[in-house]
Structure 1
């Protein structure tokens, strides 16, 4: 009975909710921290899909900002002094690590170490 309910739930679920489940599975498989569990000041490793990438020119320090969604919540990845990073584009799966801070009132990692994950990997498996 439980298997039938699970199949029915997957057949009637929205694409967004199924994607969120897949992203959360990648978080668990890679032993990463869920974005919804982040605390300021902690050093973390996160994995998810980039929802948006925006370059913000500035007179002082230009920034490249990417919103990473892991199925539970979003986090900003902020690269200072960068206009573009090859492969960092919306829809790309990324694993990043760094210290959590605040940027424009949201959790963020500044100048994170990152790994671009293979395109088309449903749960972010390594190639």
Structure 2
């Protein structure tokens, strides 16, 4: 894994240091199952229909797509909260860290009802240079859990 000396250089658009990055494992490197600390950018959220059982689903990726989109599939995982129609603070474009038990569903990593922490809101990630540093630190600066 990459050296974590430069983790102090990572900051939000507001210039605040971004804590919690060094504790995350890259989505590409997570094991088949077990307890995991990982995180990333929320690519999209999915709400359950009003007639269905409450369930809130978020898709997390290591890094957002650059201009022109992706040329290859990015490693992603699904995070599912049962019994929730919404999860406070979790929305598209937010960077979160999740802690919980990992399983696989159709070869896609899935984490059910994890603990979570918002590392940076969409508003804090408006500065492109800062976002690039965060993505680089998140993808390259992981330590195994």
Shorter chain as denominator, the TM-score bin is: 0.5 to 0.7
Indicate the RMSD between aligned Cα atoms, in angstroms: 2.7
Separation in structure 2 between the aligned mates of residue 68 and residue 114 of structure 1, nearest angstrom: 12
The TM-score with structure 1 as length reference comes to 0.66
**Higher RCO by CA contacts (8 Å cutoff, separation 6 or greater):** 2
Return the index of the structure with the highest Cα Rg: 1
Q: Judge conservation of contact 1:68–1:76 (CA < 8 Å) in 2.
A: yes
5+ residue gaps, structure 1: 1-25
Q: How many residues align?
A: 99
The CA deviation string for residues 26-78 of structure 1, in whole angstroms up to 9 with x for no partner, is 8x941321111222321111121100000123766321100011136111010
Which aligned runs of 4 or more in structure 1 are off by greater than 4 angstroms?
none
Q: List runs of 5+ in structure 2 lacking aligned partners.
A: 1-17, 64-73, 126-130, 138-145
Worse-matched range after superposition: 89-98 or 65-74? 65-74
Partner of 1:70: 62
Give the TM-score normalised by structure 2: 0.58
